[in-house]
Amino acid sequence: MSRTGSAWRSQVAIAGYALSPIERHSSRSLGDLAVETGLAAILDAGLRKEDIDGFTTGSHLPSAGGHALVDGLSIVSSNWISERLGIRPRWLSGFQGHGQLPGSVMLAVNALAAGAADYVLLHRALANPAARYHENPMTLASGGSQWTAPNGMWGPVAQIALPYNEYMQRYAATREEMATVVVELRKNAARIPWAYWHDRPITIEDYLNARIIADPISILDCDIPIEGVGAFVLTRAHRARDLPNKPVYLSGFGQGTPSAVGSTRHWTLDEIMESAQVTCDQLWASSGLNVSDVDLPQLYDGFSPFIYFWLEALGYCPIGEAHEFVQGGAIATGGPAPVASGGGALGNGRLHGIPQLLECYLQLSQRAGERQIANANVGLACHSSPHYGGVVLCTADQI
């Protein structure tokens, strides 16, 4: 493989993981789930609690009812979990912005590569508020929302519906074509015992008949809000090799940084694809690889159109052609771009990037059981849209 790439490439690895039960609403507090899942990940990595000296997470969202977030109930910060584990860490951080999972992975990679910590617990805890997700009873709209909310535009669904409609109109894409993507994700998730939609695949007719929220986005184009926690333990490569599980190396990273102005209304399709290209250029430059090296692209699908944006930005097909590319088995397991083998967000539930990183980890560490894919060496764990989210490239071997 290539000799170029960043200095930190393959210097840090995932050594273990844990995942809580995924439920629509848990009977337990999010804090309880996070502590239990964090401890389970530490044990899975073959470590003791006392070994952990670094923490990171991203705690963006949930949003509902305009309520303030409460640490331990609606979010779980790095500070909160480290205190409840009784650990005073050497290094503690939290990722701000979108693409929280790749972002927090890279904070940990940098801290570990620099020696600021030796064993980092990275977790992501997602609550599902009792009120409807994203609903807001605001009577005054200030800041960025003054430009949208007085018109009845609020939350990410309309923000995504606008560029997705632009895509559909410009490239003559259809909802029937998107049905292929969503049905494939749900089919794969149906095989995964912990997925929210385990054993519940859908048909093309189910998709086409789904309730529209903001045309052309229907409820089946959106991941379902759930409660759950995922946790990973990261350490430097030479330490990971002394631990029980086969290490999975972190070998590339890209992060979108679009114009801030777009966030107050929405980004146009052109703005999305321009910024997405920068994200993917960073990914290939830092890893020294290219799209033909990738066996396991786990694209993010919290809203289904992100699959098209990622496919085009990564170079699986020219811009404007993803809606055609996904037909005919291209994204099925065994096809050239098995984007959804891990069931994605649409199949697992709103876990914000955990399903994508987990599928890369399980497959590349040979821990995927009866779902194990043979000869997979390079995976992509994407989160959010490629223009403002991020992607981590994972490898079975050091490169």
Buried b (16+ CB within 10 A) or exposed e, 216-233: bbbebbbbbbbbbbbbbb
Pairing of strands 217-218, 91-92: unpaired
Angle at 95 between CA 68 and CA 16, to 5 degrees: 110
2 vs 147 by CB, closer to other proteins: 147
Q: Which range touches other proteins (CB under 8 A), out of 68-76, 103-111, 148-156, 235-243?
A: 148-156
Is 202 a binding residue for other proteins by CB under 8 A? The answer is no
Is 208 a binding residue for other proteins by CB under 8 A? The answer is no
> 3-class SS at 238?
helix
Residues in 313-342 that interact with other proteins by CB under 8 A: none
Is 138 a binding residue for other proteins by CB under 8 A? The answer is yes
Is 203 a binding residue for other proteins by CB under 8 A? The answer is no
Q: Which range touches other proteins (CB under 8 A), out of 9-17, 114-122, 145-153, 291-299?
A: 145-153
Q: What's the min distance (Å) between Cβ of 200 and other proteins? A: 13
CA 14: distance to chain centroid? 16
Q: What's the min distance (Å) between Cβ of 17 and other proteins? A: 29
Q: Which of 149, 278, 285, 291 binds other proteins (CB under 8 A)?
A: 149
Q: Cis peptide before 305, with omega less than 30 degrees from 0?
A: no
Burial class of residue 188, CB neighbours in 10 A (0-12, 13-18, 19+): buried
Q: Which of 49, 50, 70, 144 binds other proteins (CB under 8 A)?
A: 144
CA distance 125 to 76: 6
Give the x-and-dash track for 4-33 against other proteins (CB under 8 A).
--------------------x---------
Q: Which of 43, 69, 141, 208 binds other proteins (CB under 8 A)?
A: 141
Is 157 a binding residue for other proteins by CB under 8 A? The answer is yes
Q: What's the min distance (Å) between Cβ of 324 and other proteins? A: 20
Buried b (16+ CB within 10 A) or exposed e, 328-354: eebbbbeeebbbbbbbbbbbbbbbbbb
Is 224 a binding residue for other proteins by CB under 8 A? The answer is yes
**Cα–Cα nearest to 19, from 361, 250, 309, 365:** 361
Pairing of strands 12-19, 228-236: antiparallel
Binding positions for other proteins, rule: CB under 8 A: 24, 65, 130-155, 157-158, 161-163, 165-166, 169-170, 211-217, 219, 224, 259, 261, 264-266, 268-269
